[in-house]
Amino acid sequence: MAFGTAAATVDFGPVTQPKDRQTAQVDLPTQYRPAEVEGKLYERWVSAGLFTADPARDPARPAFSIVIPPPNVTGSLHVGHALDHSIQDALIRRRRMQGYETLWLPGTDHAGIATQNVVERELAKEGLSRHDLGREAFVERVWQWKAESGGKILGQMRRLGDSVDWTREAFTMDEPRARAVRTIFKRLFDDGLIYRAERIINWCPRCLTALSDIEVEHAEREGELVSIRYGSGDTEIVVATTRAETMLGDTAVAVHPDDERYRHLVGKEVELPLTGRTIPIVADEHVDPNFGTGAVKVTPAHDPNDFEIGRRHSLPSITVMDEHGVITAHGPFQGLDRFEARPAIVAALREQGRIVKEVRPYLHAVGHCQRCSTVVEPRVSLQWFVKVAPLAKAAGDAVRDGRVRIHPPEMAARYFEWVDNMHDWCISRQLWWGHRIPVWYGPNGEVCCPGPDEEPPAGWTQDPDVLDTWFSSALWPLSTLGWPDRTADLERFYPTSVLVTGYDILFFWVARMMMFGLYAMDGVEPFKVIALHGMVRDQYGKKMSKSFGNVVDPLEWIERYGADATRFTLLRGANPGGDVPIAEEWAQGSRNFCNKLWNATRFALMNGAHVRGELPQELSDADAWILSRLQHVIAEVDRHMEDFEFAKACEALYHFAWDEVCDWYVELAKVQLQDERAEATRRVLGEVLDKLLRLLHPIVPFVTEELWTSLTGEQTLVTAAWPAPAQELVNKDAEMLLESLQRLVTEVRRFRADQGLKPGQRVAAALEFAGSPLAAHEQAVRSLLRLNPPGESFAATASLQVEGVTVRLDTAGAIDVAAERKRLEKDLAAARKEVEQARRKLGNADFLAKAPEAVVAKTRDRLAQAESDIARLEAQLAALPTA
């Protein structure tokens, strides 16, 4: 991905104005400094209410709404947020310009575990724990922290340019959201879709709470696979495990029913070492005969798969660890931490001759708590669950029948894989910060779940647990619009138009929003489109990690290069569903692009460009060409943005702005601004920049706002109309003619360079057009190529023919012939050496027989290129003037 390259450097200095026209007054500084522009513009936009939605405003206008994936209240803007928000902002700004009633609703998530950990760390500095304060005082302390320190990311969103409706800012723990949580819980409870039961869950021994699947991160870790002999004699069987410490809670050994090695043992009992207990050998299809010995220990209280085996075979469940991961089973290992108990138990087994084999190291996936990195412990625990089967089916059906579209479509398979195989959702957390479960218990074990506006019975005790953070965020598209009340916002903006998020939380958050939205709104989906993007990676495709030293802080980039450059860099790599590579030099290139726009617009203003009145009827070929190209670009950008192809939209805009507008049209305009075509060119130049800045505004809002308001005199670009292609301005003839002119100029520039002429060096040249339509553009050709008319002493020393035009150059005195001859001879010698080496290789039978085909082909290509270079260099040497 190359930034900032072009065929030639463009001089944006003013051309000489006709005597009867004064140069326009230009308020733009000579250089673009983002820090002096971005902050003031953003506050002006917010103060003017440009981002505020009004559900009652013009009901005929279509609605377009996005609710922001709520970042954690503890969070700071990281590069993933910056990508996600840049995509959403580009969508919402474009729809706003297209005349939609737009709502982009901001807010934050209370982040139960993360926030509680932050405040507990602060208390620890004071020598206190949450238990010292008590629940009520601790929760009050968290609210205080939230008011003083939480939500820092909201200010950072302003720096990025998020055009969100700040009047509707929401928080997953504020009262409107809390009421929505109580309402949905009550409905699910009454419908039998919420229940309390002992099930195996993910447990963090450090945070002392159950975890959802998304709060567990799996990583490959080195362990050891130990094979242990259970029983003896006829009932001897060897099992393989990486968690020897849990064997104290084994209640069976399982084998596959079709495994001939163990079929005779099924139904028998075997002695469990170190315990004095006997346990059955059962047959279960879950067992993989190819893992280890093909026989596995079954510990229902400490392994999710074993828990299911235990349920199928009615096995008892024995808990041998407490909530801290400490062994509780009576015996010599009681009181040991789980990781202390593991080698101690292996040592005891080895002493008894029970260890058959040890594999060290053994690489396997280990779950860690996302917040504290503690190894997660599967644990049977009494928890609250959502019965997901009917909800998940509805979520799958909504995508299958087309009510919700996943983009890119190939991601739908991953979604179905999740919703079609979803397990009941553990929603209770053993925390103090969060939505407390709205269930009360009576003195005799009675259970009561009052409605959101009802009081619990006097004297009853509320459940101490809080709800999983994802429970409240699953309601986000609803609760932020006022549900459970039928508010004007809910009527106007639900279902939301699009959900933009990373593919990594497709299963965990997106699926939950689908389930709750469809359930709460009687089958109406929470969003029409799920637009998934990938993860931001470094330029080599490597995952960003502090340990790799390749993490990008978007706030540093904003400080260094500006918000627009940061956004453009991210969006230029954003393909639907694909990971996004970025590098700092690309951000530098994006900054250069913003500067290019600035200089081009400043040049135009200094030379009288404007947008007043209709376009001229009589257009020069150059004016007709650039207007025609503009229509194609408008249509192309529209198509790409509708398909969430932001990378392609950025590429189209980048190359049109830099290559066609700046490198070609501005240079052609310099010629036309000095003759009778000047006024028409001023209007066309204004038109092209007007539409180009509109197209770029959703992507780079700050620099385009500053430039567009200076160009047009209007108050803001935020609500200006989005361009539509004008078919009547498409001119194929002008396009073909200007493409021919560009080929001519490009080839002559290359030829000049081959002759040793510097890009800005003027030389005399004779041009023979021989009936070519390019004859009408001789003045432009000479200007672009720095060619003077031939004088009396003109003598051609070099010539070429291209596009039907013969160009003869007089380079005498323009180049140092001796130095140029020396340079060309050096290059020629290098090319001849390359030919010699390549021919020697290709003439070697051993090389041709043993070298990979790709290497042989590359050598042939090098030979062909070197031979071509020799011919070119010999021709250039022959064309040099003689001394």
Distances (CA, A) of 773 to 438, 510, 609, 669: 82, 60, 28, 19
CB atoms closer than 10 angstroms to residue 198: 12
More confident residue, 576 or 246: 246
Percentage of the chain with pLDDT > 90? 74
Q: Domain of 234: which CATH number?
A: 3.90.740.10
Cα–Cα dist 62/101, whole Å? 6
Whether 844 is in a domain gets the answer yes
Q: For residue range 439-451, list pLDDT tens digits in order.
A: 999 999 899 999 9
Cα–Cα dist 432/484, whole Å? 25
Q: Which residues of 842-857 are buried (b: 16+ CB within 10 A; e: fewer)?
A: eeeeeeeeeeeeeebe
Worst-scoring range by mean pLDDT, 13-17, 43-47, 75-79, 323-327?
A: 13-17
Q: For residue range 627-647, list pLDDT tens digits in order.
A: 999 999 999 999 999 999 999
Q: For residue range 305-344, list pLDDT tens digits in order.
A: 999 999 999 999 999 999 999 999 999 999 999 999 999 9
Closest alpha carbon to 598 in 721, 469, 708, 722 = 708
Is residue 245 within 8 A of residue 341, CB to CB? The reply is yes
| Mean pLDDT, rounded, of the chain | 91
pLDDT at 27 over 90: no
Token pair 């009421």: residue: 179
Residue 698 is predicted with a pLDDT of 98
**First-last CA distance in the chain:** 46
Asked which of 347, 378, 409 is the last residue of a domain, the reply is 378
Range of the structural domain that residue 357 is part of: 209-378
Q: For residue range 403-439, list pLDDT tens digits in order.
A: 999 999 999 999 999 899 988 999 999 999 999 999 9
CB atoms closer than 10 angstroms to residue 181: 23
Cα–Cα dist 477/512, whole Å? 11
Provide DSSP, 646-697: HHHHHHHHHHIIIIIIIIIIHHHHHHHTTSTTHHHHHHHHHHHHHHHHHHHT
Percentage of the chain with pLDDT > 70? 96
Q: Which amino acid, 536?
A: V
Whether 804 is in a domain gets the answer yes
pLDDT at 20 over 50: no
Q: For residue range 563-607, list pLDDT tens digits in order.
A: 999 999 999 988 888 888 888 999 999 999 999 999 999 999 999
Residue 429 is predicted with a pLDDT of 95
162 φ/ψ angles, rounded to the nearest 5 degrees? -60, 120
The answer to whether the peptide bond before residue 408 is cis (omega within 30 degrees of 0) is yes
- What mean pLDDT comes out for the span 38-60? 96
pLDDT at 883 over 70: no
Cα–Cα dist 531/87, whole Å? 10
Over 339-371, what HEC string results?
HHHHHHHHHHHHHCCCEEEEEEEEEEEEEEECC
Q: For residue range 450-480, list pLDDT tens digits in order.
A: 999 999 999 999 999 999 999 999 999 999 9
Query: Confidence band (pLDDT; 50, 70, 90) for 4?
Result: very low
Whether 586 is in a domain gets the answer no
Cα–Cα dist 208/692, whole Å? 56
Query: Confidence band (pLDDT; 50, 70, 90) for 14?
Result: very low
- What mean pLDDT comes out for the span 174-191? 97
Order the strands of the 447-448 sheet from edge to edge.
Answer: 447-448, 440-441, 461-462
Query: Confidence band (pLDDT; 50, 70, 90) for 503?
Result: confident
Is residue 62 within 8 A of residue 98, CB to CB? The reply is no
833 is in an annotated binding site: no
Residue 19 is predicted with a pLDDT of 35
At 807 the three-state DSSP class reads strand
Residue 596 is predicted with a pLDDT of 97
Provide DSSP, 577-618: TS-EEE-HHHHHHHHHHHHHHHHHHHHHHHTT----SPPPSS
Distances (CA, A) of 416 to 387, 393, 405, 422, 807: 18, 10, 13, 10, 65
Contacts of 121 (CB under 8 A, 6+ apart): none
Structural domains counted in the chain? 2
Q: Could you tell me how many residues make up the chain? A: 883
Cα–Cα dist 744/325, whole Å? 77
Residue 10 is predicted with a pLDDT of 37
Is residue 169 within 8 A of residue 107, CB to CB? The reply is yes
Cα–Cα dist 350/223, whole Å? 17
pLDDT at 253 over 80: yes
Query: Confidence band (pLDDT; 50, 70, 90) for 498?
Result: very high
Asked which of 363, 378, 393 is the last residue of a domain, the reply is 378
Query: Confidence band (pLDDT; 50, 70, 90) for 796?
Result: confident
Strand partners, 429: 466
Cα–Cα dist 428/382, whole Å? 9
Closest alpha carbon to 794 in 768, 773, 821, 764 = 764
Question: Which range in 18-32, 232-246, 710-724 is most confidently predicted, on average pLDDT?
Answer: 710-724
Signed CA dihedral, 482, 488, 494, 500: sign only? negative
Signed CA dihedral, 501, 505, 509, 514: sign only? positive
Assigned token pair, 722: 């989005």
H or E stretch covering 792: none
Cα–Cα dist 358/485, whole Å? 62
Strand partners, 211: 202
pLDDT at 15 over 50: no
More confident residue, 819 or 206: 206
Residue 520 is predicted with a pLDDT of 98
Whether 372 is in a domain gets the answer yes
Q: Which amino acid, 865?
A: Q
Residue 546 is predicted with a pLDDT of 65
Whether 618 is in a domain gets the answer no
Whether 720 is in a domain gets the answer no
Whether 832 is in a domain gets the answer yes
Cα–Cα dist 159/168, whole Å? 19
Over 472-534, what HEC string results?
HHCCHHHHCCCCCCCCHHHHHHCCEEEEEEEHHHHHHHHHHHHHHHHHHCCCCCCEEEEEEEC
Closest alpha carbon to 470 in 710, 732, 181 = 181
Closest alpha carbon to 712 in 700, 726, 697 = 697
Is residue 308 within 8 A of residue 188, CB to CB? The reply is no
Q: For residue range 519-564, list pLDDT tens digits in order.
A: 999 999 999 999 999 888 877 878 776 667 777 889 999 999 999 9
Assigned token pair, 521: 């709104």
181 φ/ψ angles, rounded to the nearest 5 degrees? -65, -45
Is residue 443 within 8 A of residue 459, CB to CB? The reply is yes
Cα–Cα dist 335/127, whole Å? 27
pLDDT at 53 over 50: yes
pLDDT at 9 over 80: no
**How far from the centroid of its chain's Cα atoms is residue 468's Cα?**
26
Compute the chain's Rg from CA coordinates. Answer: 36
Strand partners, 282: 254
Q: For residue range 255-312, list pLDDT tens digits in order.
A: 999 999 999 999 999 999 999 899 999 999 999 998 889 999 999 999 989 999 999 9
99 phi-psi bin (left φ>0, alpha ψ -120 to 50, beta other): left
- What mean pLDDT comes out for the span 809-821? 76
Whether 122 is in a domain gets the answer no
Signed CA dihedral, 417, 422, 427, 428: sign only? negative
CB atoms closer than 10 angstroms to residue 444: 5
Contacts of 707 (CB under 8 A, 6+ apart): 28, 597, 598, 601, 689, 693
Cα–Cα dist 801/811, whole Å? 17
Strand partners, 383: 197
Is residue 503 within 8 A of residue 533, CB to CB? The reply is yes
Is residue 881 within 8 A of residue 817, CB to CB? The reply is yes
